[in-house]
Amino acid sequence: MANQLSQLDQVFAALADPTRRAIVMRLCTDEASVGELAEPFEMALPSFMKHIHVLETCGLVQSEKEGRVRTCRLIPEALVGAEDWFQHQRAIWEARLDRFEAYVMKLKKERAAAKRPSKTAGKTTIKPSKRKGA
Amino acid sequence: MANQLSQLDQVFAALADPTRRAIVMRLCTDEASVGELAEPFEMALPSFMKHIHVLETCGLVQSEKEGRVRTCRLIPEALVGAEDWFQHQRAIWEARLDRFEAYVMKLKKERAAAKRPSKTAGKTTIKPSKRKGA
DNA sequence: TAATTGGTTAGCCATGAAGCTAACTATAAG
DNA sequence: CTTATAGTTAGCTTCATGGCTAACCAATTA
């Protein structure tokens, strides 16, 4: 089995849960023991531990046990990896916006050019589009 | 009963699925019909439509039907909202790193000062905070 | 040694997510 | 009018997730 989820899959899935996001946020400021982390949540410890485990599995958190205390710390690389995905998409999206803007500018120019000689306002090609039976 | 998932919950959950991430990536470059979007995937249409619906529910995608074709486009605001979360965390994390770095610098200075008896090396007030028995 | 603390293991349950097929609707195209 | 296209609805299975309790170590502390 071992469904071979990608790191991104796992990180996003981990962050989709508010409890886990809260844990990550908490660990951004400081490392902490499981008990400290769990304290704000009204949840049985075993349930809480599952969240910790999810965060460890996807590489967002590492922990180490010393005596009977397990201390957790954030691994920011995993976070950065996910952030990169967004930035990549945004780059693509913005490039597209730029293209669109350029296109609009071109249209504007053409329109201006078309307006000058006389009114050629008959070629609008508006499709009737959707009828909605009320 | 309408579990009141936050937008972030939903967006991250949506992006945790590779199919949906692929759809979003595709829509970053261009809008497309459901059929066009579905084509690269070996998946029954109804299954695929569920993914579209998830993306619409969390606000990442909007669609409109004209004739029998439903055209989907990306709503980048939702994407940006998720990206912001990362940047916020990163800011906190980096502030912490800075503090740590400052602390290390201070330590270095003190060490250097301690080596040379000439400099004043007594006013440091370092809080022990967390002890780590090593 | 006995009790407490901090976490762990095991196992149960309810819900929801992700996939499928089959059958249906509505618009285009022939 | 008939057929093909593009989605849609309904209903089913399977498996993962998130929660619980109960019982169990293993270090501290008394």
Domain ranges (residues) in chain A: 7-76
Q: Which residue is nearest to nucleotide C7 (CA to C1')?
A: A68
CB–CB of B86 and A66 under 8 A?
no
> Measured in angstroms, what separates residue B14's CA from nucleotide C21's C1'?
25
The predicted structure's pLDDT at residue B121: 40
The predicted structure's pLDDT at residue A129: 35
For residues A16-28, average pLDDT: 97
- B66-97 pLDDT, tens digit each: 999 999 999 999 999 999 999 999 999 999 88
Quick one: CATH architecture of A7-76?
Answer: Orthogonal Bundle (1.10)
How many CB atoms are located within 10 Å of the residue B132 CB?
A: 8
> Measured in angstroms, what separates residue A61's CA from nucleotide D15's C1'?
26
Distance CA B46, CA A88 (A): 29
For residues B59-70, average pLDDT: 97
Residue positions counted in chain B: 134
* Furthest C-alpha separation in chain A: 88
Q: Give A94→chain B minimum CA distance, Å.
A: 9
User: Count of A–B CB contacts within 8 Å?
Assistant: 81
The predicted structure's pLDDT at residue A121: 41
Q: pLDDT category, B106, cuts 50, 70, 90?
A: confident
The three-state secondary structure class of A64 is strand
Q: pLDDT category, A4, cuts 50, 70, 90?
A: low
- A100-132 pLDDT, tens digit each: 777 778 787 877 777 665 444 433 333 333 333
The predicted structure's pLDDT at residue A119: 43
- A51-106 pLDDT, tens digit each: 999 999 999 999 999 999 999 999 999 999 999 999 999 999 999 887 777 777 87
The closest CB to that of B29, out of A9, A90, A92, belongs to: A92
The predicted structure's pLDDT at residue B4: 64
- Provide the strand spans (E) within chain B: 32-33, 61-66, 69-74
Residue B80 half-sphere exposure toward CB, CA atoms < 13 A = 8
The predicted structure's pLDDT at residue B129: 36
The predicted structure's pLDDT at residue B105: 85
The predicted structure's pLDDT at residue B5: 76
